[in-house]
Structure 1
Amino acid sequence: MGFEFSEMKIMKQNLIELNKMSHVIHLKVAKRVAQLAIRKVKEMTPVDTGDLRNNWKYHIVKKGDTYTILIYNQLNYASFVESGHRIVVGGVTLGWVEGKFMLKLTKDEMERIAPRMWKKEVEKEMKRIFGQ
């Protein structure tokens, strides 16, 4: 039982290509997760005028080998809808409005499904490079 040295050269070239493609793979998956998160958070956002729903944005930050997806809404009342707030009339607290937790629930769901999305994309790229 033996092996051809040329097979090792091909394996090395394939691993180098996979390493080069890793940035593309990670960015592609990060964008997909971010777009899915925006769609989910918009679905769960309550609508009055539509401003809150339409102001969800994302930004992907790469630091070293880590990609972080920032989902945000710049409207000043977004955090009150997310987390809840007091009802105050004339300086007196009359009650509490429960939060909708649309961002927290979306984040939890994305953390659950993102690893599968990433694994699927890596496997697809490996099949392309290694021809299996």
Structure 2
Amino acid sequence: MGNMGRFDVSGMKELQKGLSELDRQTDMFLQACAKELAARLLRMVVKRTPVGEYGKSYVTDADGSHVRYKAGKNKGKVKRATVKKGGTLRRGWTAGGPARGYADSLPVHHWGDTYAIEIVNLVEYASYVEYGHRTANHKGWVRGHFMMTISEQDLQTIAPQILEKRIREFLGGAMKC
């Protein structure tokens, strides 16, 4: 029959060890991917959330021009009221429910092959800013800002590249590629 030659299986044993290690670390890897995507979504939605301005009342003349000081050391300067900025809605965004902190401590919910992290805003008027609402006199409509909807769509476009990079790193570590 002839000589079959030699075959070294040490590389196969290393591959088997790497694959068994992959199997043990898969759940942690998937949770880390979910946390990264949730953190990115949270950052995007916070950035996109509008900040209200309240008390923006400048002292004006009857014709609408700014009133200037007539005498004294401030002569010629415009009288202004201080502008109070909002930010309650922007500060209201959290991942994983109320009073959550860092991305590492986010609770990941796992159902079957789905990993989920909640991104919520518990400010009572958040849905009105997101989707829009009727005016107080019921004669008009205030358009929504869709900060969560648009951020979610943006994340769906970039998620494949993010996950592909993470998967390459994860598999590369186990297979020593």
TM > 0.5: yes
Q: What SS does the corresponding residue of 2:51 show, helix, strand or coil?
A: coil
Give 1:29-68 correspondences, 5 Å limit.
29-48=33-52, 49-59=86-96, 60-68=108-116
**Which of 97, 101, 116 lines up with 2:146 in the alignment?**
101
Equivalent AA in structure 1 for residue 92 of structure 2: N
- Residue 3 to residue 105, structure 1, CA distance change in 2 (3 Å): farther
2:167 corresponds to 1:130:
no
TM-score for both structures, normalised by structure 2: 0.67
| 74-83 vs 23-32, greater mean Cα deviation | 23-32
Higher helix share: 1
* Contact in 2 for aligned 1:52/1:75 (Cα 8 Å): yes
Higher strand share: 1
Q: What SS does the corresponding residue of 1:80 show, helix, strand or coil?
A: helix
For structure 2, which runs of at least 5 residues remain unmatched after alignment?
53-85, 97-107
Q: Distance in 2 between matches of 1:131 and 1:97?
A: 56
- Residue 3 to residue 50, structure 1, CA distance change in 2 (3 Å): farther
Q: What SS does the corresponding residue of 1:94 show, helix, strand or coil?
A: coil
Give 1:71-86 correspondences, 5 Å limit.
71-86=119-134
Q: Distance in 1 between matches of 2:150 and 2:88?
A: 20
Query: Which consecutive aligned stretches of 4+ in structure 1 deviate over 6 angstroms post-superposition?
Result: none
State the Cα distance separating 1:3 from its structure 2 match: 4.2
CA RMSD of aligned residues (A): 1.7
State the Cα distance separating 1:2 from its structure 2 match: 6.8
Q: Distance in 1 between matches of 2:32 and 2:126?
A: 28
**Counterpart position of 2:12:** 8
- Residue 73 to residue 23, structure 1, CA distance change in 2 (3 Å): same
TM-score for both structures, normalised by structure 1: 0.88
Q: Percent of aligned pairs with the same residue?
A: 34
Larger Rg: 2
State the Cα distance separating 1:9 from its structure 2 match: 2.2
